[in-house]
Amino acid sequence: MGLDITVMIADWSWLGEVPPRERLSRLRGAWYADESGLWDHEAPVVEGDWEWPRGPSSSSFAVYEFPGTLGSFKAHFWAGERWESVRDRADPLVRAGLDTLLLGLIWGGLDGEAEHVDQGFFCDDPAVTYGVLLARSPDSVRELAATWEEVRPWLDGLRGAFDEHAAVPEGWVRDFEEFTGLLDDWGRVLSEAARQGWGLLGLSE
């Protein structure tokens, strides 16, 4: 799992102004623009915060910097693995909620086959959409944000089971605080995307 991931929210109407085959290149073009994008940005990157582009794309997308992950997908992958270790011991309502949330974002599911890209927004050519790990429409975002709000108050009930069955002495997502901290960050991303009425993307470079 050597993938990186950049998590961003984007104005779906701005991307939708161009045909599906051109949407990802439009986003990448704005992201890497010399004078107005995020690449080689002079401002320091702040973990746990949003980074917004400058110039004409300043109101079109934003990148969220997950704390402690160094841009790696490993933390998200291992959060899914920790969930697999504890889900059978979770309250049924918590299990259903976290299954929905994590299957929608980062977890491959028990069979490892879960898809995290909504159909129809990007084209189906893998050569064009290479690097897209996650793409959720505004409707999907609203549903996932609502799921997060429902399950969040009940998470602490998982602590004992997590400590016994999922905690590890080293590596990624070692304890309950790191697990819930990552979920809190995803909740922040979903809440902001839902507030804006935007979509959610995870790209690997």
pLDDT band at residue 1 under the 50/70/90 scheme: very low
User: What pLDDT, on the 0 to 100 scale, is given for residue 122?
Assistant: 92
The whole-number average pLDDT for the span 108-128 is 91
The whole-number average pLDDT for the span 29-40 is 73
User: What pLDDT, on the 0 to 100 scale, is given for residue 141?
Assistant: 98
pLDDT band at residue 44 under the 50/70/90 scheme: low
The whole-number average pLDDT for the span 91-120 is 95
Q: Where are the domains of the chain?
A: 6-203
Closest CA to 85 of 141, 168, 13: 168
pTM over 0.95: no
